[in-house]
Chain A
Amino acid sequence: MSARSEPGLRAPQSRTEAAQLEPILTVEDLSVRISGLHILQGVSFTVAPTGVTVLLGRNGVGKTTTLRAIVGLTPPAGEVRGTIRMGAQSLLARPTHRLVRGGLGYVPEDRCVFAGLTVAENLRLAERRGTTPAYDKVFALFPELDRRGRQRAGSLSGGQQQMLAIGRVLLNDNRLLLVDEPTKGLAPKVVTEVAEVLERVAESVPVLLVEQNLAVVRRLARDAVVLSAGRVAWTGNAQDLLLETALTKSLLGVGAEVRA
């Protein structure tokens, strides 16, 4: 199964076309040090205002650290340097809840739904004063969440929890979504479902995605940023990257190739 065999609407645009637009997110010279360890060392990249940009790299190169730095969740022992801008606005040193209210949606690794709360309560938590939560949109994407409103989130399946984690972010309007490994640990059928949902989401809002599953990357991503040892090792068109087996192998490791 390859994106090449099914062109059509979601065929990736060219990098140059996207680059003409003002990027929604600009990361410049981002360095993160956590308890003495340099996790990121001068990472720079941009995220286009449409479509999916994927952040790739082997385990432990700092993909999650990058997303968390963007959303202001670097642990207290950590130190962040560089610039991060969404549009013209600087994001560094602003508290997470302000960033999120300013339109930065974050779907963390491992879903992080509140296991002890019901599905409805998990969603209610994301409601904000002064805005109408888009329940109709979320329930149209995930009818399951509507049906299971009174169930405890901890008793949902992994796929359902992922739907909930994405759903509660979509209740509000976002200018950019950060999604960290949404298909991790899910069954193949569920992976496809999640990918479908993300594809539909990406039609209306740009997404910065961390993803290990190259089939999902191939289906969703237009741009790719590859990290290696805390630095940017490659940027460009995601589909180009996937075509070059040798490059993929050297940047992402053998394990990635097997999964692809």
Chain B
Amino acid sequence: MTVIDAPPAQVPDELTPQRGRWHRVRPFLPLVALVVMAILPYSTISLPGIFEGPVNSPGTLQLLAICLIFGGLAAGYDLLFGRTGMLSFGHALYFAAGVYGTDILVTRAGLPLWQAALLTITGGTILAALLGAVALRTVGIAFAMVTLAFAQVGAILVARDFGGLTGGEEGLPLDVSGLPAGLVGVTNTVNLYWLALAYLTLVVFVVHRVSGSPTGRVLAGLRDDERRIGVLGLDPYRYKLVAFTLAGGLASAGGVVYVLIVGGASPHITSSELTLSLLVMVVLGGPGTRWGPVLGGVLYMYLDHRLTAFGTSDAVDNLPAVLSHPLSQPLFVLGTVFILAVYFFPGGMTSLAPRLTALTRSLRPSPRR
């Protein structure tokens, strides 16, 4: 089983028809998926067309690890967008803070990884709390613009290389000499993969716990109608700040893992385009659902990497230029799919599954699967 085969496990509970054995197995499916994902590196299966090498080759594992990181990032971003209704255009900032923070502390300051990681995540969380405290003074579109502008400052700081810390346009390769040996080198990619899987699990767990808590219900109330929460005597500002800070902290933690996987920081991760892609991931997957954003993030990153290869493949090259050129641009394909998604399946992929189930059931007379 691969990531692509995972969707049956991701249907939200309330949307699936209840039926016998299937229903009893369902709650354990995420756990099964997790175990499958965890033992995946031991498999040597080759999936031509889906991955270039065998599943346990370093190249494939690195791609999978990046996909998992973005699954986690999207789930964290969904805490803002899907679950609280905050449209932030600056989420890339906290991810970038994690990436550059770790990189700078390890490479420039020579700190051990665990110290660098701890400092970075703390710093990223505080940054989110401070900027959130300012940005949340505004609401709606103005909030989107302020977060966008703050993230732009991050992009400028990185690109202009103040104090010679970030390496500017060149980026900053991670100095691996001081890192634990198990996280360095091609042969150890599998450990980074597990780290990424752990990160995704952590984010899903945290987001799930938060949205199930009383705080989560207030956040959902804010998304639906902020005034009603105000009427209840609760301070929307405080709850939104909690969500914003938490999401920022999770994003910077993602940055810490990402910099290890990629082996350095490059300025493109600070761009507003990254936040926009997070938004695309969440909407494609299904905002406010447990597995939608994760799926969206994983699939988006997978397509983003694989479509480049697909675009240069013979099948596409043989098409007339009018078609082959745009199809060789992953962002063109993803952007177009995204627009279509907004129109035709606003609930994202997770909303498709029950519709498909309903369709197949209506086509088949027998109620049994």
Name A residues whose Cβ lies closer than 8 Å to a Cβ of B: 35-36
Contacts and interface: CB of A to CB of B under 8 A. Distances in A.
Contacts of B225: 35
A256 B224 CA distance: 34
Residues of B in contact with A, size category: under 10
Interface in B205-262: 224-225
A36 B224 CA distance: 10
A102 B225 CA distance: 35
Contacts, number: 3
A78 B225 CA distance: 13
A35 B224 CA distance: 8
3 contacts: A35-B224, A35-B225, A36-B224
A34 to B, nearest CB: 10
Nearest to B225: A35
A35 B221 CA distance: 12
Contacts of A36: 224
A237 to B, nearest CB: 38
A134 to B, nearest CB: 40
Nearest to B228: A35
B3 to A, nearest CB: 37
Nearest to A77: B225
A96 to B, nearest CB: 24
| 3 tightest A-B CB contacts, nearest first | A35-B225, A35-B224, A36-B224
Contacts of A35: 224-225
B226 to A, nearest CB: 11
Nearest to B224: A35
Interface in B318-359: none
A35 B85 CA distance: 15
A35 B225 CA distance: 8
A36 B220 CA distance: 14
B241 to A, nearest CB: 24
A259 B224 CA distance: 37
A36 B223 CA distance: 14
Contacts of B224: 35-36
Nearest to A35: B225
A98 to B, nearest CB: 25
B215 to A, nearest CB: 21
A36 B221 CA distance: 12
A42 B234 CA distance: 34
A99 to B, nearest CB: 28
Nearest to A36: B224
A223 to B, nearest CB: 35
A73 to B, nearest CB: 19
A142 to B, nearest CB: 37
B361 to A, nearest CB: 28
A36 B225 CA distance: 10
B221 to A, nearest CB: 11
A24 to B, nearest CB: 36
A35 B226 CA distance: 12
A39 to B, nearest CB: 14
A36 B228 CA distance: 12
A47 B225 CA distance: 35
B140 to A, nearest CB: 15
A38 to B, nearest CB: 15
A79 to B, nearest CB: 15
B225 to A, nearest CB: 6
Interface string B49-76: 0000000000000000000000000000
A207 B225 CA distance: 34
A128 to B, nearest CB: 33
A84 B225 CA distance: 29
B352 to A, nearest CB: 24
A202 B224 CA distance: 42
B72 to A, nearest CB: 32
A195 B326 CA distance: 66
A235 B170 CA distance: 78
Interface in B134-161: none
